[in-house]
Amino acid sequence: KAGVTQTPRYLIKTRGQQVTLSCSPISGHRSVSWYQQTPGQGLQFLFEYFSETQRNKGNFPGRFSGRQFSNSRSEMNVSTLELGDSALYLCASSLGASGESGQETQYFGPGTRLLVL
Amino acid sequence: AQSVTQLGSHVSVSEGALVLLRCNYSSSVPPYLFWYVQYPNQGLQLLLKYTSAATLVKGINGFEAEFKKSETSFHLTKPSAHMSDAAEYFCAVTGNTPLVFGKGTRLSVIA
């Protein structure tokens, strides 16, 4: 079974631009979560989608948004990029939604490394 | 609310020595606990998880962790370190919220 895939793997943007990252979950998984990883803040939860609905949202500004499609693929968008948005963005998928069953294991993709200049 | 504290941002061991990475958690509900490993320029790989079935959990690559409710701990151990174990390790907790991660511990293995 193929793992979680993320595209693109690397991205360079300039301040003020917007960016869209894509995540394809493991086949059959209906939940997709997004995380931002930086050296200073570590791994921070962005949001979670389950069956095309946002279930949870982390403490990030409205410039960060996402969506999930009927095939469970997910995209996240960051508008008006800032230098501080430079990070590794990780996507994780699981069968069910977090909170419903803490046993749900999240499987992570390789990440998209975003550099904002 | 849930939180995780990983003691020691960097741990260094000799090849063949015991690996001990510490994790303490805080949770208002019965927790589910995870250890993930991250190799350079890669995503997170699940090492093991605790789901209340057994307090001693065995994972991949010879790692195991013991859940101790009285100490609110979930420390990760491996009897004998290998050079390939050098990576960053993250402890995470969930219960009724999305995963909350610790800051991570970088493990170095010295030949």
CA distance B110 to chain A (A): 24
Asked whether the beta carbons of residue A58 and residue B101 sit closer than 8 angstroms, the reply is: no
CA distance B96 to chain A (A): 4
Question: pLDDT tens across B19-67, in order?
Answer: 999 999 998 888 889 999 999 888 899 999 998 778 999 999 999 999 9
What distance in Å separates the CA atoms of residue B4 and residue B7, rounded to the nearest whole number?
Answer: 10
Amino acid at A83: L
Question: pLDDT tens across A24-70, in order?
Answer: 999 999 999 999 999 989 999 999 999 999 988 999 999 999 999 99
Contact call for residues B92 and B102 (beta carbons, < 8 A): yes
Contact call for residues B50 and B32 (beta carbons, < 8 A): yes
| CB contacts, 8 Å: B44 with chain A | 90, 92, 108
Handedness of CA A108, A48, A52, A64 (dihedral sign): negative
